[in-house]
Chain A
Amino acid sequence: MAELVIKIWQFGQLAEMTAQYKDKPPPAHPSSIDTAVQTAMKAEPDMKPAFVAFPGTIFSSKSHYAVFMRGNTPLTAKLLKPALIDAETGVLTDSRKLPWYVATLLISQPLHFGDYGGMPLKIIWAILDIITIVVLVTGLYLWLRRRQSGVSVERAVINASASDHRPVYTS
């Protein structure tokens, strides 16, 4: 899933951003990564570098360093913005926000790893999980009991209550 989303971005927005480099050969004398990071930080002073993708990897074109910048609030820290740096000249060529489908994937990451909200939220998750499991198991138990011939919850209740002559609901 994540790989598919990245692929869509790679062939969509990334290809668009690096269209003029399509027929260029990969850089023969790559420039310094340190300079690339400095250039990206200068372009986005309010963001911090998260990671750098090398030329030719899935997160970049074959001619660029992609410096992925992230914001500094809890929400924007998950949202990355790649700054594409020409790996030959060290010049910033483009920087665009990731499209909504990648942003959605990035925002949903803590939901999968549960690494947010601190220890109290983890405990709350655990208790809610246990409650859900109990509901599931008791439901399965009742359903399986119903299917056994001769053993009927309803009949057992009616027989038990027949002695004290009071109407009951067998819910």
Chain B
Amino acid sequence: MTRMPLHPRRQTNGQIFAIPMVLGVLSVIGLVSALVGDGFWDGVSWVTLAIPILLCGYFLLKRG
């Protein structure tokens, strides 16, 4: 179980959701580019959709 400070720093909604919003926008770009394009656009989708996976892996390894 992770120990946290008793009074965690208060964050505004903007601070909490800024990075999830960025990831969401990137995912949408990846989904649409794979659907409507070929070649270069497939590459765009691979990169943008791999970012959430890499972040998951990074934080999983960092915590464990």
Q: Chain A: residues with CB nearer than 8 A to chain B?
A: 74-75, 107, 110-111, 116-118, 120-121, 124, 127-128, 131, 157, 160-161, 166-171
From residue A113, how far is it (CB to closest CB) to chain B in Å?
12
Asked if A74 and B56 make an inter-chain contact with CB atoms under 8 angstroms apart, the answer reads: no
Judging by beta carbons under 8 Å apart, are A120 and B46 in contact? yes
Known: A167-B6, A171-B4. A117 touches B42 (CB 8 A): yes
Q: A128-B52, A166-B3, A171-B4 are in contact. Are A74 and B36 (CB under 8 A)?
A: yes
Residue contacts A-B, CB under 8 angstroms, 22 given: A74-B36, A74-B38, A75-B37, A110-B35, A116-B34, A117-B34, A118-B42, A120-B46, A121-B34, A121-B45, A121-B46, A124-B49, A127-B53, A128-B53, A131-B53, A157-B1, A160-B1, A161-B3, A168-B3, A169-B4, A169-B6, A171-B2
Beyond contacts A117-B45, A166-B3: 9 other A-B pairs, Cβ-Cβ < 8 A, are A74-B41, A75-B36, A116-B34, A117-B42, A118-B46, A131-B56, A168-B3, A171-B2, A171-B4
Cα A161 to Cα B6 in complex, Å, equals: 14
A43, chain B: closest CB distance, angstroms: 26
Given contacts A121-B46, A128-B53, contact A116 B4 (CB under 8 A): no
- With A74-B38, A107-B35 as contacts: A128 and B49 at CB distance below 8 Å: yes
Kindly state whether residue B50 has any CB partner on chain A within 8 Å: yes
* Residues in B neighbouring A166, C-beta threshold 8 A: 3
Residue with the highest number of chain A CB atoms closer than 10 Å, among B1, B42, B56: B1
Closest to A108 in B: B35
Measured between C-beta atoms, what is the minimum distance from A133 to chain B in Å? 13
Residues of B within 8 Å of A117, CB to CB, are 34, 42, 45-46
Shortest Cβ distance from A124 into B: residue: B49
Q: Which residues of the partner chain B approach A107 to less than 8 Å between Cβ atoms?
A: 35
Complex CA distance for A66 and B53, rounded to whole angstroms: 46
Query: Could you tell me which residues of chain B, from 44 to 64, have a CB within 8 Å of some CB in chain A?
Result: 45-46, 49-50, 52-53, 56
A119 to chain B, nearest CB (A): 10
Residue of B nearest to A120 (CB): B46
Is B1 a contact of A168 with CB atoms below 8 Å? yes
List of B residues within 8 angstroms of A131 by Cβ = 53, 56
